[in-house]
Amino acid sequence: MAFTRLSAFIGITLAALQVANAGLARPVFCPSGHVTANSACCALFPMVDKLQTDLFDGGECGEEAHSALRLAFHDAIGFSLRGGKGGGADGSILIFNKTELTFHANGGIDDITSRQFPVFQELKLSAGDFVHLAAAVGTANCPGAPRLQFMFGRPAPKAPAPDLTVPEPTDSVTSILSRFADAGFSPREAIALLSSHTIAAADVVDVTIPGTPFDSTVGTFDTQVFLEVLLKGSLFPGNGSQPGEVVSPLHGEMRLQSDFALARDPRTACFWQAMVDDQQRMTSEFKAAMAKLQVLGQDTRKLVDCSDVVPVPKTFTKQIKFPATFSKKDLQLTCKDLPFPNLATVAGPAPTIPPV
């Protein structure tokens, strides 16, 4: 008797599992011709096209794509595991821009919020979905980037995030790591998130030289920034020393004091150094940390995984190189536990990096 009941139970469970699996595996064909895992995502494909046309110059890894990623960070990090801060990845930075854009750390963000606002109003997504979809799509335009996750269904933000949640380049490593920890990120995840600085430039650190890149390959999501921040610096690219800036190795390149310090601090130097020329490690750690960042403060049980609306980025498989005239002798390494990869040097005279 007991055996009959057990086998009936196993039979029902197996059937349920088969239905569930069939549900998971069955693709949905959208009216637009796209295929997705969930019919709720169909509405997003035309929106992705609109983002590409109206915001990203038809799919470029340009300034708007870079800034969309920065915006996603500044939005989401307004959150604390202990409560009492903002709603995290809720788009509050877009809706409550009058408040959040007055914060010092959000300097320069007004450019991207004012570019995004009319598109946001047209698409009628929640602000959180809009900010975090735009970040995933913009990042996908950069060759070498991972295809970021996109979870759909964030409710409207309730209030602005308070000031002092976004780390500043003048902050100490201790303060940066404690802010990341307060939002739920380990030192290793903080460094993974900083992979973003491989597609980054500064407009307001030194206002005399807007669009000054952090590495020599600002249009590619490669590991070049991890290498170049480890080189000995010798010059300021613009109007002398600015708050949050330290000497850079290349004309036309900006080095943040925070990146410099994190690359050399005993708590993070090995995580930083391990990224150099390890594209696979960088993209998988960045993707995982971004997946966490982009749902901070959200009830993920209520979100639908619409990652398949995010375009597939072009791959980057080349070995990175020292900029011309630089080699191993120019490195400042504090992580002694890891061997440094053997890298070639670009031929020719030392470059001047053009602005974005």
CB closer to ligand HEM out of 204 and 331 = 204
| Least distance in angstroms from the C-beta of 216 to ligand HEM | 15
Residue 74 annotated in active site: yes
CB closer to ligand HEM out of 36 and 238 = 238
Residue 231 phi, psi dihedral angles, 5° rounding: -80, 150
Q: Strands, DSSP E only, in the chain?
A: 28-29, 35-36, 151-152, 201-202, 212-213, 245-246, 255-256, 304-305
| Least distance in angstroms from the C-beta of 214 to ligand HEM | 7
Question: Alpha-carbon distance 76 to 129, whole Å?
Answer: 12
The yes or no reply on residue 73 touching ligand HEM (CB under 6 A) is yes
| Least distance in angstroms from the C-beta of 163 to ligand HEM | 15
Q: Site for ligand HEM (CB under 6 A): which residue of 47, 56, 61, 66?
A: 66
Beta pairing partners, 134: none
Token digits of residue 235 = 């010059």
Q: Judge contact between 58 and 48, C-beta under 8 A.
A: no
Q: Site for ligand HEM (CB under 6 A): which residue of 34, 37, 46, 108?
A: 108
The yes or no reply on residue 209 touching ligand HEM (CB under 6 A) is no
Question: Alpha-carbon distance 69 to 133, whole Å?
Answer: 10
Beta pairing partners, 322: 345
CB closer to ligand HEM out of 45 and 249 = 249
CB closer to ligand HEM out of 18 and 239 = 239
Q: Catalytic one among 34, 66, 74, 104?
A: 74
CB closer to ligand HEM out of 36 and 257 = 257
Q: Site for ligand HEM (CB under 6 A): which residue of 52, 80, 196, 216?
A: 196
The yes or no reply on residue 194 touching ligand HEM (CB under 6 A) is yes
The yes or no reply on residue 250 touching ligand HEM (CB under 6 A) is no
What burial letters (b/e) apply to 204-233, b meaning 16+ CB within 10 Å? ebbeebbebbbbbbbbbbbbbbbbbbbbeb
Q: Site for ligand HEM (CB under 6 A): which residue of 90, 203, 222, 285?
A: 203
Beta pairing partners, 151: 305
23 annotated to bind ligand: no
Stretch binding ligand HEM (CB under 6 A), from 2-10, 32-40, 196-204, 314-322 = 196-204
Q: Site for ligand HEM (CB under 6 A): which residue of 216, 258, 268, 294?
A: 258
Token digits of residue 7 = 């086998």
The yes or no reply on residue 132 touching ligand HEM (CB under 6 A) is no
217 annotated to bind ligand: yes
Q: Which amino acid is at 321?
A: K
Task: Tell me how many residues contact ligand HEM (CB under 6 A).
Answer: 25
CB closer to ligand HEM out of 276 and 293 = 293
Question: Alpha-carbon distance 49 to 55, whole Å?
Answer: 10
Question: Alpha-carbon distance 89 to 179, whole Å?
Answer: 16
Question: Which pairs with CB-CB distance under 8 Å and at least 24 residues apart come from 77-83?
Answer: 77/165, 77/166, 77/167, 77/179, 77/183, 77/293, 77/296, 78/160, 78/161, 78/162, 78/165, 78/166, 79/161, 79/165, 79/183, 79/296, 79/297, 80/165, 80/182, 80/183, 81/182, 81/183, 81/184, 82/182
The yes or no reply on residue 255 touching ligand HEM (CB under 6 A) is no
Stretch binding ligand HEM (CB under 6 A), from 12-20, 161-169, 227-235, 274-282 = 161-169
Binding site for ligand HEM (CB under 6 A): 63, 66-67, 69-70, 73, 108, 167-169, 176, 193-194, 196-197, 199-205, 244, 256, 258
